[in-house]
Chain A
Amino acid sequence: MSAKSTAHSVVEASSGGKWLAGGLVVVYALVTMIPLVWIFLTGFKSPPDSISYPPKVFFEPSMEGYVNLFTTRTRQTSEYIESLGPPETWYDEIVRKRNMVIAGPSKFADRYLNSIVIGFGSTFLAVFLGTLAAYGFSRFKVPLKDDLLFFILSTRMMPPIAVAIPIYLMYRTLGLSDTALGMILLYTAVNISLAVWLLKGFIDEIPREYEEAAVVDGYSRLQAFWKVVLPQARTGIAATAIFCLIFAWNEYAFVLLLTSGEAQTAPPYIPLIIGEGGLDWPAVAAGTTLFLLPIVFFTVVLRNQLLRGITFGAVRK
């Protein structure tokens, strides 16, 4: 199609329409970005700045929120603090300005690590098992295929809270309560229905002839799957992985109920970061910022795959 064409084309919007659409997208993006930007900025405010009224847009940046996020502190008399001598590190210095000393690390790092282990672990398992199951459903004669697929989908129909109590009791008996393994299995089970359905769609789109050509050329079924199907399902797998990761990363209800100490992830922890005289907003904001990073990072890394993945079917050659 000629780019210079002035006539209105059926498939391409006119340039005026494009500008309008672009403008709307920019405005919408700005509106949705404001809370995120505010959270990011709040992470670098001092506690008084964070709750000042009217709200401060310009402020003196401080690392206090991040220090508070990663430490526990105790209040001491100024005599005691003076007796300690000059502060040894920059974070000691920040804390002592508030007449406090660092008592030890907070649980945030552990919770964050749990989030990573459980989030990525369950995503890997769900995508791995989902790919194999989807391939099976797509390529083989499975008895009761439609019923099985519906059953898999139906596991997603109930709200999580409806199954939370049975799972709680089950996990207590099995010794899976408050373990990372338990949470990985649970998120895998929830995500696998999404993974199977999404991936089956993608694999259905890959013509069988590719595998058949490989098999005739002397490859085994598994090798053909590995060399021919997987590379072509890459975009679908990336899109599925992102969806699974987002769910597992953000999940709140199950983890609140099923974990207390050891295996708790970041979401139930962040809102409970209490400072002196109520919530420590800069620390909460700092935690939230750090919590958002992995998802943002992966979405950006995989954005091309993701776009192609989500719009698949719409743009067949």
Chain B
Amino acid sequence: MPEVALTGVTKRFDKTLAVSDLSLTIADGEFVVLLGPTGAGKTTTLRLVAGLERPEEGRIEIDGRDVTKTTPAERDVCFVFQQYSLYPHYTVFDNLAFPLRAPGRKRPAAEIQARVEEIARLLRIESKLKNRATQLSGGEMQRVAIGRALVRRPSIYLMDEPLSSLDAKLREDLRIELKRIQRDLGATILYVTHDQLEAMTLADRIGVLAEGRLVQVGAPREVYERPNDIDVARRLGSPQINLVPSGTLGVEERPAAATTVGVRPEDVLLHREDGVAAEVLAVEHLGVETLVLLSVEDLTLRALLGGHAPVAIGEATRIAVRPGAALFFDERGRRITGPETGSPKTGSPKTGSPKTGSKSEAAYGT
């Protein structure tokens, strides 16, 4: 049974269409990440599920119950806010205990104590329980904020960019911890972010939002390999996908309607005997990988190579696109699917079964 189902949900603020005809189901124990730029309607979607906003149209169900018109308290959800997540006038313990002391679901003091300590251990903040909420580092605050949600066992956890205010190292640590905790607890999570790396690593399924509309939903690799349109292709992957006019780079087998060709940086191959002439403009050593900026036929191209790739600035080389790896988009930016693009990828480590469509419910591990 789906834990949460949104059907045709629409929300307007005056003239702004914040969420438009959004339908999404989240299965029990699933980790769904909504990915989109600022203003895409991510926060609004979470607030609609939580009941902090009322939709103009559509239905929201939690555990098979229509909750469209009920108050937040009646919905059995938890919300981790983007900021301002802790009460500054309480200690860490009281912050964590706060949800358990709510009138409707008040627990005995001993149980609260035990539960808070359990969660504090899980998040490795036991030693901070007596601190004031304001006497914590950013990472600790965010742990407590997540802990405040985890002390309860709601139908669904809603998390609004909980890691966005942290520095890169902490973000990575907490990301891994969050995934571990979610697996251990079997929690159902709807998570919002604008960071594609977070989306790719955390999600069982990614939903790509743009201007209030859900453009594509699918497993991370599925969305990465078979984006519905140029926008989704650009949204996922770092460094970004190369988008070039059709007919360049020596990509031969292309559908007639294609106007733009998308090539992931890792699918650009250097030092090919029979390739297109190119010049190396810049080389960035990223450690495990090397990012190379190339000039080809008046185009600038990003290529991602191994850590010790032998390239030098100014070097002339010949490049090719990994066979079958190119993505084709029509003039409206939609990806062209169907038999023309069906030639299987060869030699690509990322080959998946070339299933078309985006309805797959398969949950890939990461």
One of A27-35, A214-222, A246-254 contacting the partner = A214-222
CB distance from B141 to the nearest CB of A (A): 12
With a cutoff of 8 Å between Cβ atoms, the chain B residues found around residue A214 in the complex are: 98, 102
Is A219 a contact of B73 with CB atoms below 8 Å? yes
- Contact code string A35-64 (vs B, CB < 8 Å = 1, else 0): 000000000000000000000000000000
With a cutoff of 8 Å between Cβ atoms, the chain B residues found around residue A228 in the complex are: 87
A-contacting residues, B57-116, CB 8 Å? 71-73, 75, 77-79, 81, 83-85, 87-89, 98-99, 102-105
A223-B103, A231-B89 given as contacts; is B84 within 8 A of A216 (CB)? no
Asked whether any CB of chain A lies closer than 8 Å to the CB of B52, the reply is yes
Is B102 a contact of A213 with CB atoms below 8 Å? no
Is A207 a contact of B103 with CB atoms below 8 Å? no
Asked whether any CB of chain A lies closer than 8 Å to the CB of B50, the reply is yes
Is B84 a contact of A210 with CB atoms below 8 Å? yes
Residues of A within 8 A of B (CB-CB), count: 16
A220-B73, A228-B87 given as contacts; is B79 within 8 A of A213 (CB)? yes
* Cα A223 to Cα B99 with chains together (Å): 13
Is A216 a contact of B88 with CB atoms below 8 Å? no
A212-B52, A232-B89 given as contacts; is B105 within 8 A of A218 (CB)? yes
Asked whether any CB of chain B lies closer than 8 Å to the CB of A146, the reply is no
- Contact code string A274-295 (vs B, CB < 8 Å = 1, else 0): 0000000000000000000000
* Cα A219 to Cα B77 with chains together (Å): 13
Asked whether any CB of chain B lies closer than 8 Å to the CB of A88, the reply is no
With a cutoff of 8 Å between Cβ atoms, the chain A residues found around residue B51 in the complex are: 216
With a cutoff of 8 Å between Cβ atoms, the chain B residues found around residue A218 in the complex are: 73, 99, 102-105
Is B89 a contact of A217 with CB atoms below 8 Å? no
With a cutoff of 8 Å between Cβ atoms, the chain B residues found around residue A12 in the complex are: none
* Cα A209 to Cα B50 with chains together (Å): 13
- Contact code string B182-218 (vs A, CB < 8 Å = 1, else 0): 0000000000000000000000000000000000000
With a cutoff of 8 Å between Cβ atoms, the chain B residues found around residue A207 in the complex are: 83-84
CB distance from A180 to the nearest CB of B (A): 35
CB distance from A31 to the nearest CB of B (A): 39
Is A209 a contact of B73 with CB atoms below 8 Å? no
- The one of B84, B98, B99 in contact with A209, judged by C-beta atoms closer than 8 angstroms, is B84
* Cα A215 to Cα B73 with chains together (Å): 6
Is A215 a contact of B72 with CB atoms below 8 Å? yes
Nearest B-chain residue to A231, judged by Cβ: B89
- Contact code string A282-310 (vs B, CB < 8 Å = 1, else 0): 00000000000000000000000000000
* Cα A212 to Cα B43 with chains together (Å): 13
CB distance from B190 to the nearest CB of A (A): 13
* Cα A173 to Cα B288 with chains together (Å): 89
- The one of B72, B83, B87 in contact with A216, judged by C-beta atoms closer than 8 angstroms, is B72
Is A219 a contact of B87 with CB atoms below 8 Å? no
Size class of the contact patch on chain B: 20 to 34
With a cutoff of 8 Å between Cβ atoms, the chain B residues found around residue A220 in the complex are: 73, 103
Is B78 a contact of A210 with CB atoms below 8 Å? no
- The one of B79, B89, B103, B148 in contact with A212, judged by C-beta atoms closer than 8 angstroms, is B79
With a cutoff of 8 Å between Cβ atoms, the chain B residues found around residue A231 in the complex are: 87, 89
A212-B52, A212-B79 given as contacts; is B84 within 8 A of A217 (CB)? no
With a cutoff of 8 Å between Cβ atoms, the chain B residues found around residue A210 in the complex are: 84, 87
With a cutoff of 8 Å between Cβ atoms, the chain A residues found around residue B85 in the complex are: 209, 213
With a cutoff of 8 Å between Cβ atoms, the chain A residues found around residue B72 in the complex are: 212, 215-216
Is B89 a contact of A216 with CB atoms below 8 Å? no
- The one of A213, A215, A219 in contact with B81, judged by C-beta atoms closer than 8 angstroms, is A213
With a cutoff of 8 Å between Cβ atoms, the chain A residues found around residue B84 in the complex are: 207, 209-210
Is A216 a contact of B50 with CB atoms below 8 Å? yes
CB distance from A52 to the nearest CB of B (A): 56
Is B81 a contact of A209 with CB atoms below 8 Å? yes
A217-B99, A232-B88 given as contacts; is B81 within 8 A of A212 (CB)? yes
Which chain B residues have a beta carbon within 8 Å of chain A's beta carbons?
50-52, 71-73, 75, 77-79, 81, 83-85, 87-89, 98-99, 102-105, 148, 152
Chosen A-B contacts, 26 in total, with CB atoms closer than 8 Å, are A207-B83, A209-B81, A209-B83, A209-B84, A210-B84, A210-B87, A212-B50, A212-B52, A212-B81, A214-B102, A215-B73, A216-B52, A216-B77, A217-B78, A217-B102, A217-B152, A218-B73, A218-B102, A218-B103, A219-B73, A219-B102, A219-B103, A220-B73, A228-B87, A231-B87, A232-B89
For the A-B complex with A214-B98, A220-B103 known, give 10 more contacts whose Cβ atoms are closer than 8 Å: A209-B84, A213-B79, A215-B71, A216-B51, A216-B77, A217-B73, A217-B98, A218-B99, A219-B102, A220-B73
